[in-house]
Homo-oligomer: A and B are copies of this chain.
Amino acid sequence: MSSNEPASRRVRLLLAYDGSHFHGFATNEGVRTVAGSLNDALSTIAQSDIEVQGAGRTDAGVHAWGQVVSVDLPSDLDLESLPRRLTKMCAPGVVVREAAPADSDFSARFSATWRHYRYLVLNDETPDPFMAATSWHVSHPLNLPLMQMACDPLVGEHDFSSFCRRPKDGEHSLVRRVLSAEWTEQRTEHGARLLRFEIRATAFCHQMVRSIVGTLVDVGTGKITPGEITGILAACSRSAAGQVAPPEGLCLWEVGY
């Protein structure tokens, strides 16, 4: 660092975004991504190259209510007005909810102790145009008690190879600890059945929540029995599990530190 460069400090941002506006979170040359938009806006504000690190790399179409990013910013940058400025510069689709100073060793990704995702399934004969971007429409009636039973074997520490896209280098462990997994039933404002899946884990592998939800929906239609889940986990093979749920129903809800 040259002596004329301003001192920097680590900052933690809390953000919400509608994933339908983006080709995922991670920067990707030539397409609009959440991290790319944030990097561009912050680099303009700070007048130097800025790069954010996110707690979770959400896929294209996946939403966030509580994504957390860490970033080094000039120490004299006003944090109070930053959320409003960033929200305006990254519009439409991203809202920066908070900006706060963080410890110098804080990492949105590596300091996280748990992640909480939510998935919405609209389970009604008729689709709802206002839910299309934020839920998976499944018209076949789903058996919720069976789907809840099928959650139990997933809780705890397991190798989730059957529920993940294997990473390209194939070396990483796919052992993860799921802390809770639960379905609840609600009604939309129009009275349609809305099933809400909440899952919390220390960390997730790629496409893990969507693979789990797809398999649990296959349990709800009777294609897979709850008793088969333990065997699917033990198989450690992607082909043992059910379908992969589409991205639009998924939302990164909260990250714990």
Q: In the complex the two chains form, is B95's CB within 8 Å of A128's CB?
A: yes
Measured CB to CB, the closest approach of chain B to A128, in angstroms, equals: 7
> Digit string of A1-38 for contact with B (CB within 8 Å is 1, else 0)?
00000000000000011100000000000000000000
Check A134 for interface membership: any CB of B closer than 8 A: yes
Check A132 for interface membership: any CB of B closer than 8 A: yes
Q: In the complex the two chains form, is A17's CB within 8 Å of B129's CB?
A: yes
Q: In the complex the two chains form, is B190's CB within 8 Å of A129's CB?
A: no
Give the copy number.
Answer: 2
Closest to A63 in B: B130
- Give the chain B neighbours of A47 by CB distance below 8 A: none
Measured CB to CB, the closest approach of chain B to A73, in angstroms, equals: 20
> Digit string of A84-126 for contact with B (CB within 8 Å is 1, else 0)?
0001000011110100000000000000000000000000001
Q: In the complex the two chains form, is B132's CB within 8 Å of A92's CB?
A: yes
- Give the chain B neighbours of A128 by CB distance below 8 A: 16, 95
Q: In the complex the two chains form, is A93's CB within 8 Å of B129's CB?
A: yes
Closest to A88 in B: B127
- How long is the Cα–Cα vector from A17 to B132 in the complex, in angstroms? 11
Check A65 for interface membership: any CB of B closer than 8 A: yes
Q: In the complex the two chains form, is A65's CB within 8 Å of B190's CB?
A: yes
- Interface residue count on the A side (C-beta < 8 Å): 20
Q: In the complex the two chains form, is A18's CB within 8 Å of B132's CB?
A: yes
Q: In the complex the two chains form, is A95's CB within 8 Å of B18's CB?
A: no
Measured CB to CB, the closest approach of chain B to A183, in angstroms, equals: 17
- Contacting B at CB under 8 A, from A42-73, are 63, 65
Closest to A92 in B: B132
- Give the chain B neighbours of A95 by CB distance below 8 A: 126-129
- Give the chain B neighbours of A83 by CB distance below 8 A: 126
Q: In the complex the two chains form, is A130's CB within 8 Å of B18's CB?
A: yes
- Chain A: residues with CB nearer than 8 A to chain B? 16-18, 63, 65, 83, 87, 92-95, 97, 126-130, 132, 134, 190
Listed A/B pairs (24) with beta-carbon separation below 8 Å? A16-B128, A16-B129, A16-B130, A17-B129, A18-B129, A18-B130, A18-B132, A63-B129, A63-B130, A65-B130, A65-B190, A83-B126, A87-B127, A92-B129, A92-B132, A93-B129, A93-B132, A94-B129, A95-B126, A95-B127, A95-B128, A95-B129, A97-B126, A130-B134
